[in-house]
Amino acid sequence: MPGRTAMRATIFQDGPVSPRESGGEPRACAFPATCCLANGDIVCVYRRGKEKHSRDGVFVAQRSGDAGRTWSEPVMIFDGLSRPVPESVHGGAVVPAADGALLAMFTAVPVREADSYIFSETGRQLEQIFYVAVSPDSGRTWGEAVPHRPPGTRPLRYINSRPLALPDGDLLVPVEITTPARRQAVMMTRYAPAAGTFAPAQMLADDESGRLSFGDPKLTRLADGRILMWLWAFLNEGEETIQAHECVSADDGRTWSPPRATTILCQCAALLGLPDGSVLAVANVRQPPEGIRLWRSPDGGRTWNGAAGLQMWDARKFRMLGEPLAGVAAGKSADDGRLWEALPGFTFGTPDLVASDPGSFLLTYYAVTEGFAQVRACRFGLAPAP
């Protein structure tokens, strides 16, 4: 693929990860995060509840030993609903540590008003409790989740981004926060698995002019050793999504370049650096035609294969296409940009991306099909366009 920007995708398989409920009320499974283990196994963690944002969320994991073709039954990571003050999981991420253990990091909120939407005024008064759980056996079983307050972070803190393992054994952990000025910002901290402690967080992306908010930070290691991070960026006035912004670190996350706009207009994204120096990005796009799109950069994120990319999940046809955008007809108008109000109605989102079989990739995401949210996985390959 080096030197070529046009590409096509071949969809090998696309289907559910989260199983259907046998009897009883179906559950909404959403906000997956995925990682690949040293032995090639893939672990996907996600939130399960009555609805995507209901106050009864638990956190579960599923494993695949065959590059995402089949999946184990869900294993519980955290169920806080039976506590004296019940806790509901918001979302989280998963990452393998250098010692072979698997770590899940997630946030949960006390359930004081069961009907309180998490981004409502009432919901924003609840501290997001930051948890770390450890699995010694590749996600088959999980130890008790330990609460943390990463130093320097705010009470409204969120993680849905895979931490990045560093050469010294620490994990680089991006955290989205809500500032006292009610804008979204991104901080970075380090977690030492051996000590079970977080370092003081540093502010990475906060527009003090008040114009922009930044969220959903996603990391990848580039072939030249740099770390690339993408941020969802939107205007605080009108909550309109603009081009994703990027930050780059050349010293393992100690210092970062200021946020800079890319050419890609999208929301929550995921990045995957490849050995040949190229980078893949998948992201939600809520402008017509809505869905999940994929782009490729041949030069470590400096340039991308046009603003359109490939249409992967198509929100109108409810299936994976893998087609260049030029071959996809325009659809209905996007939502009016009121992000917090619109979130419960989103029918797809939170894509994640890992390398699976040689020459192929696994895209995990959630989508509403047959009226309910499920976690899904798509195996696909890429080749230069003819």
Nearest-angstrom CA–CA distance, 288 and 312: 13
What's the gap between Cα 257 and its chain centre?
22
Q: Is residue 301's pLDDT more than 70?
A: yes
Bridge partners, 135 (sequence order): 102
* Structure tokens given for 45: 């963690």
Burial 343-368 (b: 16+ CB within 10 A, else e): eeebbbbbbbbbbbeeebbbbbbbbb
Q: Is residue 3's pLDDT more than 50?
A: no
- pLDDT confidence bin for 358, thresholds 50/70/90: confident
The three-point CA angle 354-206-45 to 5° equals 25
In this prediction, residues 89-96 reach a mean pLDDT of 96
Q: Which domains does the chain have, with CATH numbers?
A: 7-384 (2.120.10.10)
Greatest CA span in the chain, whole angstroms?
61
Nearest-angstrom CA–CA distance, 212 and 120: 20
Of the ranges 56-70, 125-139, 305-319, which one carries the lowest mean pLDDT score?
Answer: 305-319
The SS3 call for residue 124 is helix
Q: Is residue 306's pLDDT more than 60?
A: yes
* Structure tokens given for 343: 């979130």
- To the nearest whole number, what is the mean pLDDT of the chain? 90
Report whether 184 contacts 160 (CB < 8 A): no
* Structure tokens given for 42: 């893939």
Tell me the pLDDT tens digit for each residue of 183-195.
999 999 999 999 9
Nearest-angstrom CA–CA distance, 281 and 380: 14
* Structure tokens given for 302: 């400096």
Q: Is residue 37's pLDDT more than 50?
A: yes
* Structure tokens given for 353: 């991306």
Tell me the pLDDT tens digit for each residue of 215-248.
999 999 999 999 999 999 999 998 899 999 999 9
Signed CA dihedral, 28, 32, 38, 41: sign only: positive
